[in-house]
Structures are given as structure tokens and as C-alpha cells.
């Protein structure tokens, strides 16, 4: 796997140091921050490939940082939380987090989940160069090999889950997907959240790409991308 950069925003210094040590041993380049303001600066300066983000920070809440980052960047985010309430976990996923890890955690699990996300989100980095698959509809272009979406030649920043959701709907135009089917296809872990997560991601896709006329709600069932 290509050398990847991970930013850890965690206010408990022993936990941040443990994560950094374990991830460096696993071959990743790591930076740490113990507060939200500094962490946001490091997102711009360090340009990480993935963010480990604590839910509870002393200055800015992790969920607010998650919202800020996913509005501007497509960096995968794993929330670190001591909360076991499913409502809190669902909230993080609704605002664009890729996954969550509950404290206390096993370092092996952290590394495994990060590698799983990298394999999925950055899979083109590990493959031999192949023909770029591009899909064009209206003023929108999806590039699979570059993992980008453009509207009027301008790159639109989507979170990894938003991108996956758009791609599966577009490549299966005309097919109706239930919310549960989309959860199982895109959120790959044993995710026990409710279907609000899908609805929130659909809303963001429609807003970012002006897709109200193309991504249709099938009432009582789910969603489809019209042909």
C-alpha cells in the first residue's frame, strides 16, 4: 500500500501518542493535534489522506469539525468516541464520517479499519494504470480512476461515501434501491444505524450537484437514478 498520511485530532495526549506510535509502526506518516483549532490548520498544511477525529474536544466539537471538513474536502474521517449510544454514532455518519471506533480500542482494529478504507477509497493507487472509466451526464463527469466528480469542468468535493453513493446509483440507472440495500452496499461494516444516514447523504448529493431531477425518491421504498 502506498505511503499514506494520517492526522490524529485527539485531546487526550496518551491516546494520541499511542495511535501515532501504532500507526507509524504500521507504515503510516502521522501528525497529532490536541485541539480542534490546531487540527483544522493541520488539515490544510499536512493534507492528510485520512483523519482520526475525537468526538469530544476542548474547544470545538468533533462533529462540528467533521461537518466543516466534509463541506470542503473529501478526506475520509474515522470518529473516535467514548460514546456507545447508537444515536451519537449515527449522527457522525450522517455528517460524513466513514466509520467510528469506540474507546477503549484495540490498535489492531484501528489499523485494519484504516487499511479497509484505503483499499476502497484509494484502490486506484494500488492498481496498475488502466483505462480511465468516465461517465458523463449533462454537465457532470464522474472519473473512477481519478475518483473525482466534475460539474462544468470544476471539481466538486464529495465525501467518499457521497461519491460511492453517486456511483452506485448512476451505474444502476433505473434500478430502485431500498435504503437498507444502500446501507449494506456502501457502509460495509455491520452497521446498525437507521436509514437517516442514507437520506442525509442523498440530500447533500442533490445540493452539491443539483441532482433533484435525476436522483428520485421512490416513496415507501428508496431511491433511483433516472435513465
Look-up of cell digits 471506533: 101
pTM: 0.64
CA distance 86 to 214: 32
Q: 126 vs 112, which has greater pLDDT? A: 112
CB half-sphere exposure, 192, CA atoms < 13 A: 5
Nearest to 28 by CA among 49, 53, 54: 49
CA distance 115 to 142: 24
Instruction: List, for residues 59-95, the tens digit of each pLDDT value.
Output: 988 889 998 888 878 889 999 887 666 666 677 777 7
Q: Choose the weakest-confidence range: 24-28, 69-73, 152-156, 158-162.
A: 69-73
Instruction: List, for residues 160-172, the tens digit of each pLDDT value.
Output: 889 999 999 999 9
Give the model's pLDDT for residue 83.
67
Give the model's pLDDT for residue 41.
93
Confidence class for position 12, pLDDT limits 50, 70, 90: very high
* Grid coordinates given for 64: 462540528
DSSP classification of residue 27: T
133-150 mean pLDDT: 88
What's 9-55 look like in SS3?
Answer: ECCCHHHHHHHHHHHHHCCCEEEEECCHHHHHHHHHHHCCCEEEEEC
Beta bridge partners of 53: 9, 79
Instruction: List, for residues 179-188, the tens digit of each pLDDT value.
Output: 888 888 887 6
Grouping H, G, I as helix, E, B as strand and the rest as coil, residue 131 is coil
Beta bridge partners of 9: 33, 53
**What structural domains and CATH numbers belong to the chain?**
5-126 (3.40.50.2300), 134-225 (1.10.10.10)
Amino acid at each position: 500500500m502506498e505511503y499514506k498520511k494520517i492526522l490524529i485530532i485527539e485531546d487526550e495526549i496518551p491516546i494520541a501518542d499511542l495511535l501515532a506510535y501504532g500507526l507509524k509502526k504500521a507504515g503510516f506518516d502521522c501528525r497529532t493535534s490536541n485541539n480542534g483549532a490546531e487540527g483544522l490548520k493541520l488539515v490544510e498544511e499536512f493534507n492528510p489522506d485520512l483523519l482520526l477525529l475525537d468526538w469530544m474536544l476542548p474547544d470545538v466539537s468533533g462533529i462540528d469539525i467533521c461537518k466543516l471538513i466534509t463541506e470542503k474536502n473529501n478526506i475520509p474521517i474515522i470518529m473516535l468516541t467514548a460514546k456507545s449510544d447508537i444515536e451519537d454514532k449515527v449522527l457522525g455518519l450522517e455528517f460524513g464520517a466513514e466509520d467510528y471506533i469506540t474507546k477503549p480500542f484495540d490498535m489492531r482494529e484501528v489499523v485494519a479499519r484504516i487499511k479497509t478504507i484505503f483499499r476502497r477509497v484509494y484502490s486506484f493507487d494500488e492498481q496498475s494504470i488502466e483505462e480511465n472509466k468516465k461517465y458523463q451526464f449533462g454537465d457532470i463527469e464522474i472519473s473512477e480512476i481519478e475518483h473525482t466528480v466534475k460539474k462544468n469542468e470544476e471539481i466538486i468535493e464529495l465525501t467518499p461515501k457521497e461519491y460511492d453513493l453517486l456511483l452506485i446509483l448512476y451505474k444502476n440507472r433505473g434500478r430502485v434501491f431500498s435504503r437498507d440495500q444502500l446501507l449494506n452496499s456502501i457502509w460495509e461494516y455491520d452497521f446498525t444505524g437507521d436509514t437517516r444516514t442514507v437520506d442525509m447523504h442523498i440530500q447533500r448529493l442533490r445540493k452539491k450537484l443539483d441532482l433533484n431531477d435525476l436522483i428520485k425518491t421512490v416513496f415507501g421504498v428508496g431511491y433511483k437514478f433516472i435513465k
